[in-house]
Amino acid sequence: MAKELYNLGEMPSLGEIPEKMNAWLIRPERFGTPMEAFQKEVVNVPPIAADEVLVYVMAAGINYNNVWAGLGIPVNVIAARNKAGEPEEFHIGGSDASGIVHQVGKDVTNVKVGDEVVIHCGRWDRDCPGVKSGGDPMYSPTYRIWGYETNWGSFAQFANVQGQQCMPKPKHMTWEGAAAYTLVAATAWRMLHGWGVNSVKAGDVVLIWGGAGGLGSMAIQIAKAAGATPIAIVSGEDKFDYCVKLGAKGCINRNDFDHWGMLPHWKDSAGYTKWLKGVRAFGSAIWDVLGEKRAPNIVFEHPGETTIPTSIFVCDTGGMVAVCAGTTGYNATVDLRYLWMRQKRLQGSHFANGVQSNQMNELALRGLLDPCMSRAFTYDEIPVAHQLMYENKHPHGNMSVLVGATEFGLGVSGEPPVVLPHTTLPKGDVHTTPHPYPMSEPLPGIAEPEAITIVDDGAKVKDLMHRGVIGCAPGDTVAQVARIMIDKDIHAVVVMDGGQAVGVVSQTDMVLARQGRTPDEARAMPVRDIMTPGCVTCDAGLLLSEAVSLMTGRRMHRLVVTENGQLAGVISMTDVVRKRIPARHLALWLARPILAPAGIPVSGTGPSATRSPAPGMTPSGGLQVGRN
């Protein structure tokens, strides 16, 4: 007779399903940081449908999905499922797992009770018309990420999965190693193998962002196995050896370059020219690694906003930039000339379908894919692992936690078909980060350095900056900071913690804090929850034109200014406007009548009064073509 509940590590007999199970749960009333959001509870073991499987979880993978689930942003996954009709007012996360099949639905044919499996995280409705007609399940409106968008993930003794999610566990891997690679490796596989004529092939050059990370480490190995030449971009030379041992031809330290960020506007000739110099230097570094002047056939992208302009530029004619995320932001900018004239492909890619996941796993079964597990945790440390991710203090590579396995190192039942050199990250490694006309104009490339003269009056940041820094503490409330802004007549306040600038809170941040909240709720929020993390700084001696390009390129309104290594003040776009435009011209500009569309009354001028159209506009409000 089955027990009602088994202790953690006490595995029931095969096929024996208890009524209840231990699990880590997230509930809406405790949304917050991982240490607050995750709590141990005992819940009922979920039932399975005809196409589903109940897996006894031995180990689970860790990824960012359940940091977001615990915060309740950007999506309240519990409320979304409740709205769709699911009754559970909790979330059990976990989108990677290794374990043992304990129960199968009547329609499941690919696994049986007792099979050791790893789980991919893609779920979809098998009765979806698009799926039934042979379409890619990834395009189905029923597609969901298991353990994030769906419930009953791997942070519990039993997980509810579809039969098609189950794949054979590599016999040479431990439980924790086998739980670490599936989500990132399947994502990398589709990015590299899923796009027809642009899919990776022998002889290709593949440029891989974040080569030492969980995703990038998989991409290096997958590209190498296909006969391609991977080049890894990393945050420091201490990761070069790690990536080379995984199969990279060589590495590029992104911190050797400073042109990152959104593309300068093509009308900003100074900013665009400076960016062009930086991206050419980066392209030359690719040539240095290869030992020949070749462009990457594929760029493996996921930072997004700060790197897409560079990725598009350096990609080969007819090549592809495949992007699966926007870890530095979503508003990527592209010089469209490089897409249409060089016929480059910017391809979005999201996880993988069942066929692609199994193709990836075949590589693991053959011993050609190291899970690159950088750290494993105990079951009790699930909140700790996610907290490290939340604080960006986790190591590169992939992480996992024990669930049903009682010790690290268990689960190996065979020798690897191929013995790969095992590589490890440096000791103590952690993350450190939080066009135009004419159409047929020849495009500059890496090997075409033209001498371009930029007209600049030589003004420096120190000539216009506001001296001194008005600051607040991370724990100060929005109400307190609002009072500072009003009293000091400023638009932003620098957030200071232990003498260090850790962020900026602006009027925009304050307005966004009010969105969706009552005034009292917004006023009570701590600044740390609404500030823009990090401070973009410039030196007081920097040319003003370069500071303006830095602000426009990053879509910012102000920079923190340093002098002799110390905080010295702030330079803002408002400072530039006030001090670069003569006072009499500014006064005239500010005193001019407020323009309104022709025919629309303007307050204070009578019911039939109208304004003259703005320069460059026709009386109808349309653009006037021609000279002004």
**Exposure letters 166-180 (e unless 16+ CB within 10 A, then b):** bbbbbbbbbbbbbbb
- pLDDT tens per residue, range 534-588: 888 899 999 998 998 888 877 788 899 999 988 899 998 888 887 666 555 545 5
Question: According to the model, what pLDDT value does residue 448 have?
Answer: 55
For residue 123, the SS3 value is strand
Is the pLDDT score of 200 beyond 80?
A: yes
| Relative orientation angle of helices 182-193 and 214-225, to the nearest 10 degrees | 50
pLDDT for the residue numbered 268: 79
Q: Evaluate whether 383 touches 25 at the Cβ level (below 8 Å).
A: no
Structure tokens at 102: 């304990």
The encoded tokens of residue 98 equal: 């290794």
| Percentage, residues of the chain above pLDDT 90 | 68
Question: Per-residue pLDDT for 592 more than 50?
Answer: no
Q: Report residue 220's pLDDT band, with 50, 70 and 90 as the boundaries.
A: very high
Highest mean pLDDT among 312-326, 480-494, 514-528, 605-619: 312-326
DSSP code, position 603: T
* Domain 20-185+354-402: assigned CATH number: 3.90.180.10
Lowest mean pLDDT of 115-124, 265-274, 450-459, 485-494, name the range: 450-459
Residue type at position 150: T
Return the closest-CA partner of residue 508 out of 469, 481, 537, 474: 481
Look at residue 583 in the predicted model and tell me its pLDDT.
56
Is the pLDDT at 613 greater than 80? The verdict is no
Asked if 560 contacts 501 with a C-beta cutoff of 8 angstroms, the reply is yes
What distance in Å separates the CA atoms of residue 384 and residue 407, rounded to the nearest whole number?
Answer: 18
Reported as a single tens digit per residue, the pLDDT across 434-485 is: 532 233 344 456 665 555 555 677 899 999 898 888 999 999 999 999 999 9
pLDDT, position 444: 58
Given phi > 0 = left and psi -120 to 50 = alpha, else beta, which region is 360? alpha
Give the span between the Cα atoms of 562 and 148, in whole angstroms.
Answer: 43
pLDDT at 445: 64
pLDDT of residue 328: 85
For residue range 487-529, what is the model confidence (pLDDT) as tens digits? 998 888 999 998 888 999 988 888 888 877 889 999 999 999 9
- pLDDT digit string (tens) for 207-218? 999 999 999 999
Q: Tell me if 195-348 shares its fold with 461-580.
A: no
CA distances from 580 to 270, 331, 464 (A): 17, 30, 9
pLDDT exceeds cutoff 90 at 348: yes
Long-range contacts of 255-258 (CB under 8 A, 24+ apart): 256/285, 257/281, 257/282, 257/285
- Tell me the average pLDDT of the chain: 87
Considering the four listed CATH numbers 3.40.50.720, 3.90.79.10, 3.40.50.300, 3.40.50.1370, the one that applies to the domain covering 195-348 is 3.40.50.720
DSSP 8-state symbol, 417: S
Q: Give the residue with greater pLDDT, 367 vs 419.
A: 367
Q: Is domain 461-580 in CATH 3.10.580.10, yes or no? A: yes
pLDDT greater at residue 356 or residue 546:
356
Domain boundaries, given as residue ranges, for the chain: 20-185+354-402, 195-348, 461-580, 591-621
The pLDDT value given to residue 266 = 77
In this prediction, residue 99 has a pLDDT band, given cuts at 50, 70 and 90, of very high
DSSP 204-234: -EEEEETTTSHHHHHHHHHHHHTT-EEEEEE
How large a percentage of the chain has pLDDT more than 70? 88
Residues 6+ apart with CB under 8 A from 579: 463, 464
Instruction: Give the containing element (helix H, strand E) for 113.
Output: none
pLDDT at 589: 46
What pLDDT was estimated at residue 606? 35
Burial class (CB in 10 A: 0-12, 13-18, 19+), 37: buried
Higher pLDDT, 93 or 578: 93
Q: What is the pLDDT of residue 21?
A: 98
Q: Give me the mean pLDDT over the 182-187 stretch.
A: 97
- 570 sits in which H/E element: strand 566-572
CA 562, CA 567: separation in Å to the nearest integer? 4
What whole-number distance in Å separates Cα of residue 375 and Cα of residue 212?
14
Q: Which residues of 202-212 are buried (b: 16+ CB within 10 A; e: fewer)?
A: eebbbbbbbbb
Q: Which of 50, 174, 165 is nearest to 110 (CA)?
A: 165
Three-class secondary structure assignment of 128-155: CHHHHCCCCHHHCCCCEECCCCCCCCCC
For residues 520 and 517, give the distance between their C-alpha atoms in angstroms, rounded to a whole number.
8
Q: Are 382 and 219 in contact (CB under 8 A)?
A: no
Residue 616's pLDDT is: 33
Least confident range from 28-32, 151-155, 593-597: namely 593-597
Higher pLDDT, 465 or 250: 250
Radius of gyration in angstroms for the set of CA atoms belonging to the chain, rounded to a whole number: 28
Higher local confidence (pLDDT), 442 or 120: 120
Confidence grade of residue 75 (pLDDT, cut at 50, 70, 90): confident
234 has a pLDDT exceeding 70: yes
pLDDT(611) > 90: no
